Structure 1
Amino acid sequence: MGIERWRRRRPPTRWLLVIRRGIAAGLSAVLFGAAVSGCSSGDDAVAQGGTFEFISPGGQVDIFYDPPQSRGRPGPIRGPDLMDPNRTLSLDDFAEQVVVINVWGQWCGPCRTEMPELQRVYDATRNEGVAFLGIDVRDNNRQAAVDFIVDRNVTFPSIYDPPMRTMIALGARYPTTVIPSTIVLDRSHRVAAVFLRALLAEDLEPVVRRLAAETATG
């Protein structure tokens, strides 16, 4: 009798499905949130081979790291030259120079208006010990990316990195979903500024000139 009563009172099958789906959805949300927030420890929390750990206080999109002693270095940044597949580009090619690293893609609308602005700053500061290095991401069509550069008369080099492997050097917490973004390194190749938005020349040039006036240390 007790068993029959329990069978008659148990929730309908559809409610069991709702409960199960709710539990599964909650678990998925927890796992997804952990992945997005970069919840890792040890070496995974910072750039591989580097000391830079991305932090954005209050969700800021313009982040400056001062004083210079507080700045961390990214890990090794290197990859194939977009314009010459037989050549490898590396951050080490720009010793004791301020380096502006721009993450872009030809598919990215804001990148199309930002790239000429970057070229303007490059032209204005290149003789002051300033280098620019692009990182082209998520572009499986290499020729389309090449055409993007040629059509805009961009003269600074870019690493061709469709799978975004180069971004590992910036650490697990760096927001790789934000395109375009710009990282400015001082002469010691420490991260001095990060911009998580498209830039105008007037936004970037004062920062670059200030860093160019600093002296490289250690």
Structure 2
Amino acid sequence: MTRNSVRGLAALLFALVVGTTATACATGNDAVASGGTFDFVSPGGQTEIFYDPPADRGTIGNLTGENLMEEGQTLSLSDFEGQVVVVNLWGQWCGPCRGEADDLEKVYEGTKDQGVAFLGINVKDPQRDKAQDFVTNNNVTFPSIWDPSLRSLTALGGSYPTSVIPSTLVLDRQHRVAAVYLTALLADDLQPVVERIAAEQ
């Protein structure tokens, strides 16, 4: 076999692999949003994205799943009707998640009287007890959905980067996406944004 033939065969195999991978990604369940109009875009690879004015914001789909701490109990975004909701994706295996846990709890305690709720989504943790220990050890008092398979995240749309953990979405009172953070957070950065969105008319 000549060198050109080898190159041609290698190029063909590469194209087949890429095509198969792209097809798998495009047709899997995770590529389908379950309702909602939110289309995630991160201009220039930004890690802090704000969606303004409010009329331009999209809604996420029907976010729901099993309560991490209460087996058999379901948690849904619809449980928080009329509230600003801070949705945080986390895992007990994630170092930055441990680092931001007390900051998130501080903002939750500081804003819940303003009609703000927090909803965690525990991802990629097949051992539920370890995730529960994380909640207990870090004194986290807001609820979390237990989602080891990332199934509930189809509500965030096919383009949301579910591989970025931790990440946080701030939803306004109509549950439209007002802000997305693709990084661990400090209370001093998050709280003013949450309070601003809670004060919107």
**TM norm structure 2:** 0.91
- The equivalent residue for 2:101 is 115
- The equivalent residue for 1:7 is none
Alignment partner of 1:62 out of 48, 53, 57: 48
User: Is 1:98–1:187's contact at 8 Å kept on the other side of the alignment?
Assistant: yes
Q: Distance in 2 between matches of 1:57 and 1:35?
A: 25
User: Is 1:137–1:163's contact at 8 Å kept on the other side of the alignment?
Assistant: yes
Aligned-partner SS, 2:162 = coil
User: Is 1:96–1:187's contact at 8 Å kept on the other side of the alignment?
Assistant: yes
Q: 1:98 Cα deviation (Å)?
A: 0.5
Alignment partner of 1:193 out of 176, 179, 195: 179
Q: Distance in 2 between matches of 1:203 and 1:187?
A: 20
- The equivalent residue for 1:21 is 10
Aligned residues: 199
Aligned-partner SS, 1:100 = strand
Matched letter for residue 24 of structure 1: L
Aligned pairs for 1:51-200 (under 5 A) are 51-200=37-186
Alignment partner of 1:206 out of 185, 192, 198: 192
Q: 1:53 Cα deviation (Å)?
A: 0.8
Could you give the per-residue CA deviations for residues 34-71 of structure 1, whole angstroms, max 9, x where no partner exists?
Answer: 479x778xxx9773211111111111110000000000
User: Is 2:83–2:117's contact at 8 Å kept on the other side of the alignment?
Assistant: yes
User: Is 1:46–1:52's contact at 8 Å kept on the other side of the alignment?
Assistant: no
Q: Distance in 1 between matches of 2:189 and 2:23?
A: 32
Could you give the per-residue CA deviations for residues 113-164 of structure 1, whole angstroms, max 9, x where no partner exists?
Answer: 0111100100111111000000000000000000000000000000000010
Q: Distance in 1 between matches of 2:106 and 2:23?
A: 37
User: Is 1:104–1:180's contact at 8 Å kept on the other side of the alignment?
Assistant: yes
**TM norm structure 1:** 0.85
Q: Distance in 2 between matches of 1:46 and 1:100?
A: 23
Q: 1:208 to 1:190 in 2, by over 3 A?
A: same
Q: Distance in 1 between matches of 2:146 and 2:18?
A: 33
Where does structure 1 lack aligned partners over 5 or more consecutive residues? 1-10
Aligned-partner SS, 1:47 = coil
Greater radius of gyration (CA): 1
Q: Distance in 1 between matches of 2:198 and 2:47?
A: 22
Q: Distance in 1 between matches of 2:51 and 2:71?
A: 34
Aligned-partner SS, 2:36 = coil
Aligned-partner SS, 1:166 = helix
Matched letter for residue 146 of structure 2: Y
Percent sequence identity over matched residues? 56
Q: 1:35 to 1:70 in 2, by over 3 A?
A: farther
